[in-house]
Each structure stands twice: as C-alpha cells, then as structure tokens.
Amino acid sequence: MTPVSGVETHWDVHGLRLAGLSWGNPESSPVLCLHGWLDNAASFAVLAPLLHGCHVVAPDLTGHGKSARRSADATYQIWDDLPEVLGVVEALGWQRFGLMGHSRGAVIASLFAATFPERVERLVLLDAVGPEPVPESEFPVQMRRFLQDKGRLLERDNRVFASVEEAVASRSEAGISEAAATLLAERNLRPCEGGVTWTTDPRLHGASAVKLTEGQVQAVLQALDMPTLLLLAEGGLGGRHPEVAASAERSIRQLAMERVAGGHHFHMETPLDSVAERIGGFLAP
C-alpha cells in the first residue's frame, strides 16, 4: 500500500468547520468522495491517486476525522449530511461532478444523487447502495431507541488508548488490514490525558430516529438516472447480503454491477490497480 498524502482543505458550511483532502489536478474531472461510518477522508488515500484524469475531493463528514461535531440538539441521520455535502460542492464551484461513496457514504451518495440528479454526472457505489428499509410498524420502536441513545451518548466519552499503535490495533479488529487501519486511525485521533482518543462524535453510534421504508428506498434508487457503477466486495456487505444486488438491479436503470475480491474496505487494500482502472475509466472516460 502506497498512499499519497492529499492536500488538506477546509470549508465553512452552516456554521460547521469541515476538513478534507484532495488529490489530482483541479482542472481534471471533478469527483466528490464520501467515506463510510467511523472512517474519514483518508479512506480514499490509496485509491484517489490512481484515478488518473480525476480531481478527487474527500471531506471528513461531520463528526468524523478533523471535521467539527454537530451541536448537542442536532442529529446524525443519513440525510443530515446532505446540506453539508451540497455546501461543500457549492464552495468548490462544481455544477456537475462525479460522486463516489463507500458504505454509509454510498448511501448518502445515493440520496444526494436521487435528490439532485442533474448535478451528478456519474455515480460510483462501493459495497453499499441504499439504506436498509424498516417496516412502518417499527416506527415507535425505532424512535424509542433514538431517544434513549441520544441522552446516553451525549454524556459518553470515547475510549482512551495508551498509544496510536493500540488504537490502530483496535481498528484492525474490525477486519481491515493494519495499513488501512493506520491511515484511518491517524486522522481520527487526538491527544488526551492518558494517551489518545477518537475525534469521532459518540452520537454516531446511536440509533436513527427514523428509517426509510421499502417504498422510500425504491423511490431513491429509481431516481438514479445517471450511469451508476456498483462494486460489491465478495467478503463485504455485497457478499453477505445478496438483497443489495437484487434491489439495485431491480431499480437502477443505468447500472453496471461487478463483484470484486476483498473485504468491505477493498478500496484501501492492495493490489488495487484493476479496481482503480475500472473506476477511473468510468468516472473519466
């Protein structure tokens, strides 16, 4: 793995200071990349430099990495990221662009692309498509979980590690390589008494107040009228949940779907040349 350090950048969106990384020539095809849950912009540090002909920008989504946390009264539902994603795009001055997301970032990317299809030229989804639907009958139970989690997590502190190496080891336990865990952990840590701790907002561990129904999820996918590339990892969510592929095939009109070797974070693992070539050729044909 030979990641290339991106250029640090910042945006002020709706009173929040957001951080991120960028790679490539700003005159090349613009591509916005959205990372997964508890990850950060370094999620694309291996892949982005291999996307020739692309100017890749990856923000740390709010509450992750070096970006600010939301206020105590705010929430972290997936659609709460959309105004900030739009704010970053507006700050960049992009009218049309490629959009790529991994895991939770893929879900956010689908929501954004469905809402603003005229802005998204091409869409790349890495090992996820849309949110998992929840029956309407589960609404009261879901709301109860959210309310209980919100109060509890507002008072919670993140775990303290004696060293960066210890933090990296804990991240590797999730099933990603040590090299990938190091990239993600180092951008997601800050010094504290006793060692280091995550910058991640603990509220990201809480239940959402509302989840989309099956009909709403299908409406999102059916609104994706741009060319869409879905890469599903054999050892990731795509391999464990065949309904992800079935839902995409049923609803996305211009879908190219492929299965790739590796786990959920396959876009951070080596060798990556063939995957990068496929994605780069799709985004900047």
Active-site amino acid positions:
103
Q: What is the CA radius of gyration of the chain?
A: 18
How many angstroms separate the CA atoms of 219 and 97, rounded? Answer: 22
Closest Cα to residue 164, out of 197, 131, 140, 208? 197
Cis peptide before 30 (omega within 30 of 0): no
Which H or E run includes 180?
Answer: helix 178-187
Q: Kindly state the tokens that stand for 187.
A: 């951008």
Crossing angle of helices 178-187 and 164-172, in 10° steps, is 120
Class of residue 131 by CB neighbours under 10 A (exposed 0-12, middle 13-18, buried 19+):
buried
Ramachandran angles phi, psi of 200, nearest 5°? -55, 135
